[in-house]
Structure 1
Amino acid sequence: MSKPLLKIDNMSIVFSSPDEADIEAVRQVDLSLTPGKTLALVGESGCGKSVTARAVLRLLDKNADVRTGSIVFTPAGEDATDIARLKPDSLAMRRIRGNQISMIFQEPMSSLSPVHTIGDQIDEMMTIHEGLGGKAARERTVALLDQVGVPGARERADAYPFQLSGGLRQRAMIAMALACTPQLLIADEPTTALDVTTQAQILDLLRQLQADFGMAMLFITHDLGVVAEIADEVAVMYLGDVVEQGSVFDVFSAPRHPYTQALMNSIPKMSRKADRVRLNPIKGTVPAPKDRPTGCAFTSRCPHAFEPCASVRPVRTDVGNGHHARCHLLTQAPVEAMA
């Protein structure tokens, strides 16, 4: 197995407030990414996916802090660096951010500058990190836009974000993220606001670019269909906890955590039967972060919850072939409880 490019170990992220108690938004997360592979981070909105990704680039809000754990980044041919120990505005972090690790943000319309052209924003990446001058940077920008499928790339480089469609803005964001050939690409729900046809084109593009550059990819989404199409491994988050992780095949075919099972059961299924089948939603609501149970975060919605669940946090249990889950049913309940 390849040596991890990025290894997150026991990372907790806390948001502080002068008026209320600190809120732990991400709790003791463990993740590992290897070159050429895609790890999908999935879960409901607000579960901590984007906060986890932003921590890797030290782009957290001022009241957020990586309270515990490490984020070890080991680029090819270089020594390991614990990103969690770097200051967000340090020279060492600025050398990594946008250069060795890049991010495609969730909404390109709000992430791109509305007062600068697409070309100027991509040019800037290469000027800062690679020292390319005006004409050389622009030629590289045009080539990148062409590579990601932007028609009329040279003319589009002079366009402002509001002059492009959603799909073209997303492609421009991808071109910007790839400007310095990063070793790790973080894609934060890059297809959420796109129509089905454009979504398929973007996924094909990301797969092709990953094959061309050999980069690792952290793909954040709540769409399990997208996960099945693009990812090698999947980590399922709930209320800041990674409750299950493993290969896409293992997690999808034999989910071991009740939350993952509920997610899989809630997917609408195509049927030839004349009778309409009701959707199977997950009952209950996600607790507020300040009301999170001491033990398993899914306790209040879990149909299998029993005495230790609310008070004792489950251990990360290996269920075989690198497949892990945090659930008391795996260590304390009878085998038939998981049937």
Structure 2
Amino acid sequence: MTKPLLSVNDMAIVFTSPDEPDIEAVRQVDLTLTPGKTLALVGESGCGKSVTARAVLRLLDKNADISRGEILYDAAQDGPVDIARLDPDGLAMRSIRGAQISMIFQEPMTSLSPVHTIGNQIDEVIMLHERMSQKQARERTIALLDQVGVPGARDRANAYPFELSGGLRQRAMIAMALACTPKLLIADEPTTALDVTTQAQILDLLRQLQDDFGMAILFITHDLGVVAEVADEVAVMYLGDVVEQGDVYEVFRAPQHPYTQALMNSVPRLQRKAERQRLSPIKGTVPSPKDRPEGCAFTSRCPHAFAPCPNIRPERTEVGAGHIARCHLLTQANVEEPA
């Protein structure tokens, strides 16, 4: 088996406030990323997907802290390193961020500087991590823009973000993320704001780049159709918890957690007129982390919730080869009501 590139083990992220109790936004997350493979992290907005990704790059807000667990990165020159213990502004973390682990942010219009050209922003990344002159960096920038399908790359390098379409801005963001040929690429909903044609082009581009560079990809999305198309494995996240995880085919074929089942049932399907049915939405909304129950986080919206659910946290249960879920229904015979 291929050695894991990044292993997130038992990670928890806490947000602090001087006026309110600490809020645990992410708890006990376990993820494994392998070279050449794509892990999709899915769930509704507010489930902690982006916070988890930013923790890997140590880009959390000032009031957020990794309170427990480890993020083992096993591609450093000196052997495995625990990113969770590194200084976010230290030399060791800065040598990893952008060079070995890169991120495509969700909205390029707010992630790119509006007062610098696309070329200058990509040049800066290259010169920061590589021993290159400005002229050499610009030539690589143009080559990268051409590689990701930006027409007239030499001229576009001198354009400002607001002068490009949404699809071209996203391609420029991908070029910046690939500037130093990273081993791990984190894509935070890279196709959400794009039309379906451009979305298909971006997904094809990511697959091609993965084949070319052998990168591991952490793909964050709430679109199960995209997951089925690009992912090898999927982790379903709800209110900071990974409630189900496994091979994408196995999870989609036989989802075990009620939340995963509800997500799949809410996906529109093409049907003949005589067979058409109403969509099946998930009732309620994702609660605030401040209101998280002691037990299963999905309790308030679960149609199968029973006595132990709000008070006892379900254990990770293996339901197949590499297929894991957290649900009391899977161990119902062994669950006792609390005294």
TM bin, normalised by shorter chain, reads over 0.9
Partner in structure 2 of residue 337 of structure 1: none
Structure 1 segment 21-100 matched on structure 2, within 5 A = 21-75=21-75, 78-100=78-100
Aligned to 1:316: 316
CA distance in 1: counterparts of 2:76 and 2:292, whole angstroms: 39
In 2, Cα distance between equivalents of 1:218 and 1:275: 37
Q: Deviations over 1:270-324 (max 9, x none)?
A: 1112464211011122221101000100011111111111111111111111000
Bigger mean CA offset, 301-310 vs 200-209: 301-310
> What is the DSSP-based 3-state SS (H/G/I as helix, E as strand, rest coil) of the residue aligned with 2:41?
strand
Give the aligned partner of residue 8 of structure 2: 8
Give the aligned partner of residue 113 of structure 2.
113
Aligned counterparts of 1:76 and 1:61: Cα–Cα separation in 2: 25
Whole-Å separation in 2 of the counterparts to 1:5 and 1:285? 35
Partners of 1:275 and 1:235 lie apart in 2 by 31
Residue aligning to 2:227? 227
- Structure 2 distance, partners of 1:166, 1:333, is 52
Name the aligned partner's letter for residue 310 of structure 1: P
Match in the other structure for 2:337: none
The CA RMSD measured in Å over matched residues stands at: 1.0
Give the secondary-structure state (helix, strand or coil) at the position aligned to 2:273.
coil
Deviations 1:244-290 (A, max 9, x none): 00011001010000000011111111111246421101112222110
Taking the aligned partners of 1:40 and 1:150, their CA distance within structure 2 comes to 26
The residue that corresponds to 1:299 in the other structure is 299
> Structure 1 residues 76, 86: CA separation in 2 closer, same or farther (over 3 Å shift)?
closer
**Counterpart residue identity of residue 58, structure 1:** R
Q: Distance in 2 between matches of 1:315 and 1:22?
A: 24
Alpha-carbon distance between aligned partners in 2 of 1:66 and 1:130, rounded to the nearest angstrom: 30
2:191 alignment partner AA: T
Q: Separation in 2 of the partners of 1:170 and 1:308?
A: 46
Give distance in 1, aligned partners of 2:132 and 2:233: 37
Q: Residue 218 of structure 1 corresponds to which residue in structure 2?
A: 218
Q: What is the aligned length?
A: 334
User: In structure 2, what is the equivalent of residue 127 of structure 1?
Assistant: 127
Unaligned runs of 5+ in 1: 335-339
User: Which one-letter code corresponds to 2:4 in the other structure?
Assistant: P
After the TM superposition, which parts of structure 1 deviate over 2 Å for at least 4 consecutive aligned residues?
Answer: 273-276
Residues 115-160 of structure 1 deviation map (CA, whole Å, 9 limit, x = unaligned): 1000000011110100211111000000000000000000000000
Comparing 325-334 with 314-323, which one deviates more in the overlay? 325-334
Q: How many Å separate the matches in 2 of 1:333 and 1:273?
A: 43
**Match in the other structure for 1:242:** 242
Structure 2 partner of 1:137:
137
The one-letter amino acid of 2:66's match is V
Q: Paired residue for 2:283?
A: 283
| Structure 2 Cα separation of the partners of residues 228 and 76 of structure 1 | 31
- Residue by residue over 1:54-105, the C-alpha shift from the partner in whole angstroms, topping out at 9 and shown as x without a partner, is 0000000000000000000011764000000011100000000000000000
- Contact 2:47-2:286 at 8 Å conserved across structures: no
Say which SS state the counterpart of residue 236 (structure 2) adopts: strand
User: Hey, what's the Cα distance between the residues in 2 that align with 1:149 and 1:76?
Assistant: 31
Q: Name the structure 2 match of 1:266.
A: 266
Q: Which amino acid aligns with 1:255?
A: P
Q: Percent identity?
A: 80
Q: Give the partner amino acid of 2:217.
A: M
* Structure-to-structure mapping, 1:192-207, within 5 angstroms: 192-207=192-207
1:201–1:186 CA distance, 2 compared to 1 (3 A): same
User: Over residues 152-203 of structure 1, what are the superposed CA-to-partner deviations in whole Å (9 max), with x where a residue is unaligned?
Assistant: 0000000000000000000000000000000000000000000000000000
Alignment gaps of 5+ in structure 2: 335-339
Distance in 2 separating the partners of 1:25 and 1:159? 39
Match of 2:150 in 1: 150
